[in-house]
């Protein structure tokens, strides 16, 4: 472990450090077996058949993934679905849900076949299995996540994956189970995050001292062109906005296996803060899988709202707050994890009071290379993150 990494862990507040090691979470590759997932699906079908046999309405029950009242925050783990959460029920005998009921059985049958044959498919593959039936990719996507939540298993254990959109660069080698080695230092524009992320059996890095998660691809490419991974000895990764599951999962795996600090660089606006919270605490829609996706030790290095004021950026570099921004700030302040992270709450309040927001690119007003030459090196050296 490098001196920087050691200092990072030692400088974490006592509660965060204790929570991190008290709640290690399940190992990514030992959550549940294919046989167990098959058994869960079979149990579900048997219950439906029993309903029919007893002249009852066959129905499926889902935990709602769209309301904050259904989740709670557990320090060191992230967002979790409450045991007493509200549920929604779809039935073959109800006009308003019989179509979704049929779609759900169709998707369950496709997942069952994938598990039986030990094959993997993308969500896009499933959609084009019968596009007229599903009508839209979004419908299929929501069904897959609903089924994962209903069965209580991560999506990849359903043998369904999504196309990755993220990129990664730096001194890192990903070794896959088929022997393929992905060298993340070879490409001038970064390497795509693998779709089959669970086929990665080993991760190796000789020089990396920390992982820098970057909100936008434009900033990622700019810092890569300035050779930041070599200059600061770091691995950089971006989800190109709201991160996909594979980018979140790879970030978590690197954090766990390399034991490196994870720092996040996001726009100083409500949207950027929410993306940071998705990486760090988990998302509402996938709260049932936060134990595998939440990057528990992530720290927010910038662009902090207090940095915007401290650097005295001119108003022409800033963007005014809209009504949507104000509503998003109020929503963020009510999130269940804010009570445990008053320093983040303080930044949200500072932004709301300032009534302006700023993108990372606004730092180029000071100097075209200010972000990579000054801002990030000083922040890393002085340990300025929250």
372 close to 226: Cβ distance less than 8 angstroms: yes
Chosen domain end from 103, 135, 161: 161
Residue 221 has pLDDT above 80, yes or no: yes
Average pLDDT (223-252) is 94
| Whether residue 131 is found in the same domain as residue 204 | no
Asked if 370 and 246 sit in the same domain, the reply is yes
Q: Is residue 50 part of a domain?
A: yes
DSSP annotation of 194 reads P
Q: How many CB atoms lie within 10 A of CB 148?
A: 22
Same domain, 254 and 372: yes
**Would you say 185 and 159 are in contact if contact means Cβ atoms under 8 Å apart?**
no
Q: Give me the helices (H) in the chain, please.
A: 3-11, 14-22, 34-53, 98-117, 123-127, 131-134, 137-151, 217-225, 228-231, 245-258, 270-281, 290-293, 305-310, 323-333, 342-354, 370, 376-382
- The per-residue pLDDT of the chain, averaged, comes to 87
Are 170 and 269 members of one domain? yes
| Residues 162-192 pLDDT 10s | 888 999 999 999 998 888 899 998 888 899 9
| Residues 231 and 102 reside in one and the same domain | no
262 domain-assigned: yes
Asked if 287 and 265 sit in the same domain, the reply is yes
Is 71 within a domain? no
The catalytic residue positions are: 128
Domain that holds residue 140: 34-58+93-161
The total domain count for the chain is 2
Q: Does any domain span residue 74?
A: no
Prediction pTM value: 0.84
Q: 77 lies in a domain? A: no
CATH number at residue 128: 1.10.10.10
Tell me: do 18 and 52 sit in the same domain: no
> 205 and 302 in one domain?
yes
The pLDDT assigned to 2 comes to: 55
d(CA 200, CA 246): 12
């Amino acid at each position: 472990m490098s001196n920087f990494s050691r200092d990072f862990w030692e400088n974490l507040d006592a509660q965060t450090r204790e929570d991190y090691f008290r709640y290690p979470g399940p190992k990514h590759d030992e959550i549940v077996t294919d046989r167990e997932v098959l058994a869960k699906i079979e149990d579900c079908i048997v219950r439906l058949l029993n309903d029919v046999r007893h002249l009852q309405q066959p129905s499926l029950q889902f935990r709602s993934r769209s309301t904050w009242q259904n989740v709670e925050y557990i320090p060191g783990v992230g967002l979790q679905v409450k045991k007493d959460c509200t549920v929604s029920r779809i039935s073959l005998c109800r006009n308003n849900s019989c179509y979704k009921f049929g779609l759900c059985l169709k998707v369950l049958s496709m997942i069952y076949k994938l598990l039986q044959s030990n094959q993997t498919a993308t969500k896009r593959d499933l959609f084009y299995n019968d596009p007229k039936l599903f009508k839209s990719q979004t419908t299929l996507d929501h069904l897959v996540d609903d089924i994962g939540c209903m069965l209580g298993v991560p999506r990849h254990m359903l043998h369904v994956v999504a196309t990755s959109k993220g990129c990664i660069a730096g001194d890192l080698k990903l070794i896959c189970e088929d022997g393929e080695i992905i060298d993340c230092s070879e490409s001038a524009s970064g390497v795509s995050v693998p779709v089959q992320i669970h086929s990665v059996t080993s991760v190796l890095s000789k020089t990396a001292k920390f992982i820098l998660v970057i909100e936008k691809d434009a900033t990622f490419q700019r810092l890569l062109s300035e050779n930041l991974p070599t200059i600061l000895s770091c691995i950089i990764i971006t989800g190109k906005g709201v991160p996909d599951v594979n980018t979140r999962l790879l970030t978590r795996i690197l954090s766990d296996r390399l034991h490196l600090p994870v720092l996040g660089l996001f726009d100083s606006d409500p949207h950027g803060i929410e993306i940071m919270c998705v990486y760090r605490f988990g998302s509402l829609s996938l709260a049932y899988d936060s134990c595998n996706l939440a990057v528990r030790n992530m720290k927010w290095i910038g662009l902090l709202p207090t940095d915007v004021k401290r650097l005295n950026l001119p108003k022409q570099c800033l963007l005014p707050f809209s009504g949507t921004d104000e509503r998003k700030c109020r929503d963020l302040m009510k999130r269940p994890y804010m009570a445990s992270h008053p320093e983040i709450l303080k930044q949200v309040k500072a932004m709301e009071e300032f009534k302006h927001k700023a993108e990372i690119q606004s730092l180029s007003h000071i100097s075209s290379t200010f972000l990579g030459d000054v801002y990030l090196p000083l922040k890393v050296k002085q340990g300025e993150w929250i």
